[in-house]
Amino acid sequence: MSELQIAVAVEKFKAIIANQLQRVEAMKDGVQWTDFALLDSIVIGVCGGDGIGPTICAESQRILEAVLAHEVTSGRVQFKHIDGLTIENRVKENKAIPDDVLSALKTCHVILKGPTTTPQKGDSWPNIESANVAMRRELDLFGNVRPVKVAKEGIDWTFFRENTEGEYVLGSQGFDVSDDLSVDFKVTTEQGSERIIRLAFEFAKKNNKKRVTVVTKSNVIKTTDGRFSSVAKRVASEYSALGITCDEWYIDIMTAKLLDPERRNQFEVMVMPNLYGDIITDEAAQIQGGVGTAGSANVGGRWSMFEAIHGSAPRMVSEGRAQYADPSSMIKAVAMLARHIGFSDAAERIEKALEICVQFERKVKVTGRNDGATAGEFSNYVLDWVNRSDLNVAYEQFCSQS
């Protein structure tokens, strides 16, 4: 390796460090949360994305509009459609999020977003950064919250995944030092770690949860994961008097324990760095019924974004099967959105109806093909349950029977 190659690499690394130190300074001001109760009107931006995104996003919006019909009619809740997050438009603009789309997103309070395609090295698209990663960074959506519930097995998990650091924050800024050496980066900050860990503990406090589990690989990744671990211990000490315990598990054994029927229902709230959270929540969703059943909140102080946890499934579109996509993940996401903006009763109705349809009654099934229901037919099934006067009674009966 030549001295010139090392010098070039050092300059690139220097620029990355400078940028991250600027981000740290911005985080020192703390999180200023939006109080939705004080807003005359709440603007929900709707981005269909691409692939199956527009299909499942439209179905979830339809359910959200139904449960918030009064608020929509009165103008308390408004929907704003924002196009331009398709892979074609992003490639045309050569940006993860085109400038006009980002400006429109910032005029909303919360965002309902369909899946978007992220190019992989070697495929037909240019190497454009993930729209999700860019949106989380640009809107400072630091907390990825993913609930998983399987009532019949006693599973009620809530995962808090750090969203703006780790391996993903610089995922497109790694570089080839030489023909033989490639380098990527993992970033962990004191401020970024504390705000996601505190978010998890505050959730535990408000929801009467007594255990927060920190997931790292701090025995091997000693500096970055080590910092996350030490911050967690410091924050945990503030909540111990409330009866909230904190333990730490390594990511490898944690993935195993979620599959252990003797242990997994003992976990409640879990908090972890970015990459680990991405992986383990997909595993958790599969236990619930598949990644198509899980929604996700990307929470920040000023803005928040709600989405499915899965991708855009371009193969389904190319094979003409987009109408058979499962909207469950996006329906779960709109329930989380409704709760976030202050409509907990509406959120609970959606969640209970979805759970009955996916885990208990299962009269209408989505298979992803024409031997199953379309997204619209399944959404109608969920909506019928949402509107039933005996929803709460029926839900309790289903749970007791399981």
Check whether residue 26 and residue 173 sit in a common domain: yes
Residue 185 in this model has a pLDDT that exceeds 90? no
Residue 280 in this model has a pLDDT that exceeds 90? yes
Check whether residue 149 and residue 224 sit in a common domain: yes
What is the reported pLDDT for 1? 59
Work out whether strand 155-162 and strand 269-272 pair parallel, antiparallel, or are unpaired.
parallel
Lookup result for tokens 């690989």: 217
What is the reported pLDDT for 29? 87
Check whether residue 18 and residue 90 sit in a common domain: no
Residue 120 in this model has a pLDDT that exceeds 80? no
The dihedral built from the CA positions of residue 321, 324, 329 and 333, taken in this order, carries a sign that is positive
Check whether residue 136 and residue 146 sit in a common domain: no
Residue 124 in this model has a pLDDT that exceeds 80? no
Lookup result for tokens 């996006």: 330
pLDDT grade, residue 402 (50/70/90)?
low
Q: What is the largest CA-CA distance in the chain?
A: 74
What is the reported pLDDT for 97? 96
Q: Give the residue with greater pLDDT, 167 vs 59.
A: 59
Specify the range with the lowest mean pLDDT, choosing from 75-84, 217-226, 283-292, 356-365: 283-292
Segment 193-213 mean pLDDT: 97
Check whether residue 147 and residue 252 sit in a common domain: yes
What is the reported pLDDT for 127? 79
Structure tokens belonging to residue 261: 């029927």
**C-alpha closest to that of 149 among 345, 306, 359:** 359
Provide the strand spans (E) within 185-300. 211-216, 245-250, 269-272, 295-299
What is the reported pLDDT for 130? 86
CB atoms within 10 A of CB 295: 26
Check whether residue 305 and residue 258 sit in a common domain: no
Dist. CA 224–CA 149, nearest whole Å: 31
What is the reported pLDDT for 292? 78
**C-alpha closest to that of 65 among 340, 350, 324:** 350
Last residue of a domain, one of 299, 323, 346: 299
Dist. CA 28–CA 224, nearest whole Å: 19
Residue 42 in this model has a pLDDT that exceeds 80? yes
Last residue of a domain, one of 281, 299, 317: 299
Helices 328-340 and 375-386 pack at an angle, to 10 degrees, of 40
Residue 400 in this model has a pLDDT that exceeds 90? no
Residue 31 in this model has a pLDDT that exceeds 80? yes
How many percent of the chain have pLDDT more than 70? 99
Measure Cα distances from 268 to 56, 155, 157 in Å.
Answer: 29, 8, 5
pTM above 0.85, yes or no: yes
How many percent of the chain have pLDDT more than 90? 78
Dist. CA 310–CA 333, nearest whole Å: 12
Segment 34-40 mean pLDDT: 95
Lookup result for tokens 């006009």: 100
3-state SS, residue 145 = strand
Dist. CA 54–CA 138, nearest whole Å: 23
CA 236 to chain centre: 24
Measure Cα distances from 45 to 99, 215, 376 in Å.
Answer: 16, 33, 21
Check whether residue 268 and residue 210 sit in a common domain: yes
What is the reported pLDDT for 344? 95
What is the reported pLDDT for 128? 84
The string of pLDDT tens digits covering residues 301-355 is 999 999 998 889 989 999 999 999 999 999 999 999 999 999 999 999 999 999 9
The string of pLDDT tens digits covering residues 375-394 is 999 999 999 999 999 999 99
Segment 24-47 mean pLDDT: 94
Residue 183 in this model has a pLDDT that exceeds 90? no
Check whether residue 331 and residue 192 sit in a common domain: no
Answer yes or no: are the C-beta atoms of 224 and 186 closer than 8 Å. yes
- CATH number for the domain spanning 373: value is 3.40.718.10
Segment 14-41 mean pLDDT: 91
What is the reported pLDDT for 137? 87
What is the reported pLDDT for 52? 96
Structure tokens belonging to residue 382: 């969920």
Check whether residue 165 and residue 252 sit in a common domain: yes
What is the reported pLDDT for 109? 97
Check whether residue 329 and residue 276 sit in a common domain: no
What is the reported pLDDT for 49? 94
**C-alpha closest to that of 326 among 341, 339, 344, 308:** 308
What is the number of residues in the chain? 402
Answer yes or no: are the C-beta atoms of 115 and 311 closer than 8 Å. yes
Q: Give the residue with greater pLDDT, 36 vs 177.
A: 36
What's the domain range around 146? 1-30+142-299
Last residue of a domain, one of 299, 322, 343: 299
Q: How many domains does the chain have?
A: 2
Check whether residue 40 and residue 182 sit in a common domain: no
CB atoms within 10 A of CB 95: 16
Check whether residue 7 and residue 148 sit in a common domain: yes
What is the reported pLDDT for 119? 81
User: Which residues fall within 8 angstroms of residue 84, CB to CB, at 6 or more apart?
Assistant: 47, 90, 98, 100, 101, 104
Q: Give the residue with greater pLDDT, 72 vs 289.
A: 72
